[in-house]
Amino acid sequence: MRSVLVVDDDPHIRDVICFALRRAGFEATEAGDGEAALVRIERDKPKLVILDILMPELDGLDVCRAVRGGSAGNPNMPILLLSSKDAEVDRVVGLELGADDYIVKPFSPRELVARVKAHFRRIDSLAQPQGNEIALGQLHMDLAAQTATIGGQPIDLTRTEFGLLATLARRSGKVLNREALMNGAYVDFRVVSDRTIDSHMRRLRAKLREAGGVDPVQTVHGVGFRLSMPED
């Protein structure tokens, strides 16, 4: 079952989202605050979380930080942030913490469900048993297991970061613009702001340096990014 955890301190918003998700065939569960969300994430292991940012005590950013830090649930689980804040800086902060998407209130339930479906399509595509591995110099990626190593060292990537790296690796040596990277990482779902892709790329490059001591991603100013992987 495609399980989705909906976390918001407003019961009306939870009801609206859960109704739309269940109608679309998803299994939807609820949590009214950050502490309850962490309990449910650990216990129920949902496939995706829709997470409100502005909640009392433990807010959505704290929950996102706990999941991505590995102290709760699956660190690769897609996280969709909800917020009434539409400023670019707020989006960037959420994405920097490892969120995969950012949805501004008020929102269309139909659009939210479409975004959830897009993320599940990406999950399904990564699980398909075709072309399961990428071996490029010191980089090895298992697309089915969604694991990556560089120089034998594992790289702890979110789904979006993994998708970006796989997109670059499939076209190694080629310069890819942000639209191509978005299409590769999100399948048929696009993120509007270029700052979004830049935030994910910045996190990806930091993780590559931390794991392998080298950043094989090159910035081509005014164009995009290119992967130039050192040989073994």
SS3 call for 41: helix
Question: What does the pLDDT profile of the chain (232 residues) look like in tens digits?
Answer: 689 999 999 999 999 999 999 999 999 999 999 999 999 999 999 999 999 998 987 899 999 989 988 777 677 788 999 988 777 777 778 888 888 888 889 999 999 999 898 888 777 665 554 568 888 888 999 988 889 999 889 999 988 899 899 999 988 888 988 878 887 776 544 444 677 788 889 999 999 999 878 889 999 988 899 998 765 5
pTM: 0.62
Domains of the chain: 3-126 (3.40.50.2300), 131-227 (1.10.10.10)
Rounded distance, CA 77 to CA 10, Å? 23
CA atoms 222, 228, 209, 72: torsion sign: positive
Computed on alpha carbons and rounded to an integer, the radius of gyration of the chain in Å comes to 17
